[in-house]
Amino acid sequence: MPHILLLSSDAEVYRSILESANLPDLIIEKEPTQACEIIFGAPSSIRKVLNDLPNVHWVQSMWAGVEPLLEPSLRKNYILTNARGVFGQLMSEYILGYLLAHERQIFQLRQMQKEKVWFDFDTGTLRGKTLGLLGVGSIGAEVARTAKFFGMNVRGYTKESEASSEVDKYYHGNDLLEFARGLDYLVSILPNTAETKKIVDGKVLGVLPPHALFINVGRGSAVDEPALLAALGQHKIAGAILDVFEQEPLPEGHPFWEAPHLTMTFHTSAPSLPEDIARVFIENYQLYVEGKPLKYVVDFERGY
Amino acid sequence: MPHILLLSSDAEVYRSILESANLPDLIIEKEPTQACEIIFGAPSSIRKVLNDLPNVHWVQSMWAGVEPLLEPSLRKNYILTNARGVFGQLMSEYILGYLLAHERQIFQLRQMQKEKVWFDFDTGTLRGKTLGLLGVGSIGAEVARTAKFFGMNVRGYTKESEASSEVDKYYHGNDLLEFARGLDYLVSILPNTAETKKIVDGKVLGVLPPHALFINVGRGSAVDEPALLAALGQHKIAGAILDVFEQEPLPEGHPFWEAPHLTMTFHTSAPSLPEDIARVFIENYQLYVEGKPLKYVVDFERGY
């Protein structure tokens, strides 16, 4: 009878999803007890109790990022799994939403309405545009599939993988500028690693056409922030949509707050929806009780 | 040697597309002459010259809507074809753009940025939502296909057709309220006919849930405007996105300009892109010179 500790501000929502899933022999605890063998929760809450619960063998994170559990003082002698495979559609929706806001001039039309001016002009389309993906993992593959659905051309820049067949052309290593040249939309989905640091720099931004849009939904560290500010200020690109930043929340007084043609969205691109995250847990729980290897195991050394 | 009269503010763009298509024996006229046998143009311009050109046998409308050519005083003894099959993706982009702006709270996030407040909250998703299509022709079918791509459930209300297999459930006739009940998104793509007049009335709006969004990309005549204003003012629905109106441009002083939760977009949902519309003409012209039946023939009685 595994005891599971549920740690989330949405604990009641999760409890009701888990209860209706009729998982075998599961006992759900709201408070930490020594009987707890499993934790399913937000890393920021888990880190506070982890060292006091020696019987916990498995932790399922509700987030993709598990940085709080990587702290040196925390024990690592358990299986940590994260939330993966559930953010592809959410990221695609976000990216599509902002590409469409751009092409269909959603903000400009709203301004017209405010000014009570009937404005009769033609808006653009996604069809035939070229989108470049920096990073093509499971999220990038889903974004590529969505872009193809809308008739776009898709380029992908990766370390080596060419896993998604929806990408029309792959680029690697020194081909970064060739990859970026002439793109209508540049989208970064890169994680924070030594190799991705400031990869979107003045050179990359310099080969984009003036009508290009840059979207960052990966990690803020992939962007050379002063170079982006310069590109926006000098109209070298049409705009940037930033969901992530080198420092979050973005500090008061950071020039991004008032930069022209810069839209920021406060790390909302892929919310952890309980029905999605619970599905990951349920799948892993079934593997756990059957004694099988779990999915999405985090490598403490790599950090993801 | 058919003489064709080209009537459009984009006449030069169309001329260049038609000339590069090397159509057999085509003579393009910019001004009405008695030699004209074909008109390719905007209905609002065609109606002014049609009765003076008795040799015109065929009119290809650049628009989907042909209301100006249905006026009782105009002759109807010719073949009228409209632009069809080209607006599906554009309409889908528009609808998706506004559904995503709604779910992902694009306007609210922009407001946060203006106020320089880092706002940490979860946004919604399209997946699992139910979209109801009022009218399922070629545009509706494409919208349904897009909605299914994003994991939505799709209901369709039609006179009798059940042509799109992407619609999960069809409704007809007296089933209108059953169709509308509980929809997350109600989208009207209906043309202006006697049967569609004010079909979106207080009863239909009354069975939508308070979080529902109504989008009208068909014709303004399908909406009971005072009933919609009341529903928005009383928070019976969350919002309306209106691309079309009973009177366009919307008159000064019309209450829609300042209605709460109402977004208007000035009939921009499906721009007639010359490359698309010219393709329709070229296809029909080839049928015409071969003496074959044309595509997209308008039934003057039905009005579409």
Residues 51-70 of B with CB under 8 A from A: none
For A150, residues 6+ apart whose C-beta sits below 8 A from its C-beta are A96, A126, A127, B89, B93
Shortest CA gap A11–chain B (Å): 16
Please judge whether A146 and B151 are an interchain contact, meaning their C-beta atoms are less than 8 angstroms apart: no
Strands (E), chain A: 3-7, 27-29, 36-41, 58-61, 79-81, 130-134, 153-157, 169-171, 185-188, 213-216, 239-242, 262-264
Q: Is the pLDDT of residue B278 over 80?
A: yes
Domains and CATH numbers, chain B: 3-85+272-289 (3.40.50.720), 88-264 (3.40.50.720)
- Number of CB atoms found within 10 A of residue B93's CB: 26
Q: The whole model's pTM is what?
A: 0.88
Shortest CA gap A286–chain B (Å): 25
Give me the residue label for tokens 């079309």.
B244
Q: Hey, what are B132's tokens?
A: 């109801």
Confidence band for B82, pLDDT divided at 50, 70 and 90: very high
Q: Could you give the CA distance from residue A127 to residue A266 in angstroms, rounded to a whole number?
A: 28
Q: Hey, what are A263's tokens?
A: 């839209």
Of B93, B125, B271, the CB nearest to A93: B125
**Catalytic annotation, residues of A:** 219, 248, 261
SS3 B43: helix
Residues of A in contact with B105 (CB under 8 A): 268
Which residue, among B109, B124, B240, has the nearest Cα to B187 in the 3D structure?
Answer: B240
Give bridge partners of residue A7 from the DSSP assignment.
A41
Q: Cα dihedral sign for B201, B204, B208, B212?
A: negative
Residues 273-292 of B with CB under 8 A from A: 273
Specify the pLDDT at position B216: 98
Residues of B in contact with A97 (CB under 8 A): 97, 100-101, 103-104, 106
Give bridge partners of residue B230 from the DSSP assignment.
none
Distances (CA, A) of B247 to B187, B200, B219, B251, B254: 19, 16, 10, 7, 10
Q: Render pLDDT for A214-250 as a digit per residue (tens, 0 to 9).
A: 999 999 999 999 999 999 999 999 999 999 999 999 9
Question: H or E stretch including A205?
Answer: helix A202-206
Residue positions counted in chain A: 304
Q: What is the DSSP letter of B28?
A: E
SS3 A3: strand
Which residue, among B86, B50, B55, B38, has the nearest Cα to B287 in the 3D structure?
Answer: B38
For residue A106, the one-letter residue type is I
Q: Is the pLDDT of residue B234 over 90?
A: yes
Q: Could you give the CA distance from residue B208 to residue B239 in angstroms, rounded to a whole number?
A: 11
Residues of B in contact with A151 (CB under 8 A): 89
Specify the pLDDT at position B95: 98
Q: Which chain A residue is nearest to residue B119, measuring alpha carbons?
A: A266
Of B112, B151, B263, the CB nearest to A266: B112
The mean pLDDT value for B34-63 works out to 96
Q: Could you give the CA distance from residue A295 to residue B14 in angstroms, rounded to a whole number?
A: 57
Q: Render pLDDT for B177-222 as a digit per residue (tens, 0 to 9).
A: 999 999 999 999 999 888 999 999 999 999 999 999 999 999 999 9
pLDDT lower than 50: segments of chain A: none
Q: Hey, what are A303's tokens?
A: 């950090």
Q: Could you give the CA distance from residue A106 to residue A91 in angstroms, rounded to a whole number?
A: 20
Q: Render pLDDT for B132-164 as a digit per residue (tens, 0 to 9).
A: 999 999 899 999 999 999 999 999 999 999 999
Q: What is the DSSP letter of A236?
A: S
Phi (first) and psi of residue A290, to 5 degrees:
-85, 0
Specify the pLDDT at position A272: 83
Q: Could you give the CA distance from residue A93 to residue B103 in angstroms, rounded to a whole number?
A: 9
Q: Could you give the CA distance from residue B301 to residue B304 in angstroms, rounded to a whole number?
A: 8
Specify the pLDDT at position A261: 97
Average pLDDT, chain B: 95
Residues of B in contact with A112 (CB under 8 A): 266
Confidence band for B35, pLDDT divided at 50, 70 and 90: very high
The proportion of chain B whose per-residue pLDDT surpasses 90, expressed as a percent, equals 88
Confidence band for B119, pLDDT divided at 50, 70 and 90: confident
Phi (first) and psi of residue B97, to 5 degrees:
-55, -45
ipTM associated with this complex: 0.88
Q: Could you give the CA distance from residue A135 to residue B147 in angstroms, rounded to a whole number?
A: 27
Which residue, among B127, B126, B186, has the nearest Cα to B156 in the 3D structure?
Answer: B186
Q: Determine which of A63, A86, A113 to mutate to test the interface with B (most B C-beta atoms within 10 Å).
A: A113
Confidence band for B106, pLDDT divided at 50, 70 and 90: very high
Phi (first) and psi of residue A72, to 5 degrees:
-60, -30
Q: Hey, what are A20's tokens?
A: 């209706």
Distances (CA, A) of B49 to A121, A139, B39, B41, B299: 25, 55, 10, 11, 21
Phi (first) and psi of residue A154, to 5 degrees:
-125, 125
